[in-house]
Amino acid sequence: MEIILGTVQFGLSYGITNSVGKTPFKEVQSIMEYAKKVEIKTLDTAPSYGDAENILGSVGVSNFEIITKTPHFPGNTIRKQDIHLLIQTIKSSLDALKVNQVSAILIHNVMDCYKFGIKDVFDTLRQMKEDGIIKKIGVSVYEVKDIERIVELDFLVDIIQIPINVLNQSVVQKGWLPKLKEKNIEIHARSIFLQGLLLADEEALNIDQREALEEYFHQLRLLNLTKLEGALLYINQIKEIDKVLVGINNLEHLKAIIVAKNRVQVLENKIEFEKFATSNRSIIDPRLW
């Protein structure tokens, strides 16, 4: 299980269970030092993550692969000014990060892929790839229909970043992961903790969330697994996943994730995870929270 370190909390107060706000700069420095020590090789950021890219540039990211993202394009059509915005945003990201190349650029808002003119965005990214500014092109999606749209466009993406977790198993259930691997597309799992929902105390959950998770949490207790281990155990059993994106607030969070990751990688899975999947979008889609 290869970890990608998410950096949204470096620039914003993010996550349903985040009660401490944005990560302080000195803590970011400590996190990055530890990340190198445990051989985390990839960072995930975006220009919309507050000042995260500037903070990363100040700390230094020369030893990491960087994934960043496109801006959101307003309106229903991709126009010339949007392509100009795309180019300028990527240049600004490179400047902020203090690098000449990034590992990947992902389309951040998948709804842009439904707009007329999206081909111009991909053409621009492909040119940047040929010029050596980016190595890979990808898309961050929310739903199965978004994957269907990307495949329909046939723009030869290298990476798809997908929400996959104990409650949101739709991509797994619909059989898309093997299909994506057949197309040589890297699969990056994100939202594996569902913005902290899968790690939260039961008292902090609303009625629907509590009902969806009650039996799952009971199973974890019976098997002497922590909530963190349970979330990682589910992801670890999915062989098609290439990398796993995790977001943290502090160094202790990252250390706990590494300890849990190392444990679950040698555990036999005794949980029937498929029975905990839900299609209730008010639970599994943070856009509706």
Spell out the per-residue pLDDT of the chain, length 289, in tens: 899 999 999 998 755 444 557 899 999 999 999 999 999 999 999 999 999 999 999 999 989 999 999 998 999 999 999 999 999 999 999 999 999 999 999 999 999 999 999 999 999 999 999 999 999 999 999 999 999 999 999 888 999 999 999 999 999 999 999 999 999 999 999 999 999 999 999 988 999 999 999 999 999 999 999 999 999 999 999 999 999 999 998 999 999 999 999 999 998 889 999 999 999 999 998 888 8
Contact at 8 Å (CB) between 82 and 73? Answer: yes
CA separation for the pair 90, 69 (Å, rounded)? 8
| 165 contacts: CB under 8 Å, gap ≥ 6 | 191, 192, 193, 194, 198, 231, 234, 235, 284
Task: Return the SS3 of 152.
Answer: helix
The beta strands (E) that lie in the chain are given as: 2-6, 42-44, 65-69, 102-107, 134-140, 159-163, 186-190, 243-247
- At 219 the pLDDT is 96
Termini Cα distance of the chain: 29
- At 155 the pLDDT is 87
> Structure pTM?
0.93
- At 18 the pLDDT is 46
Domains of the chain, first to last: 2-288 (3.20.20.100)
CA separation for the pair 38, 4 (Å, rounded)? 12
- At 237 the pLDDT is 94
Looking at residue 73, the DSSP 8-state letter turns out to be: P
CA separation for the pair 31, 171 (Å, rounded)? 31
Closest C-alpha among 200, 209, 170 to residue 288:
209
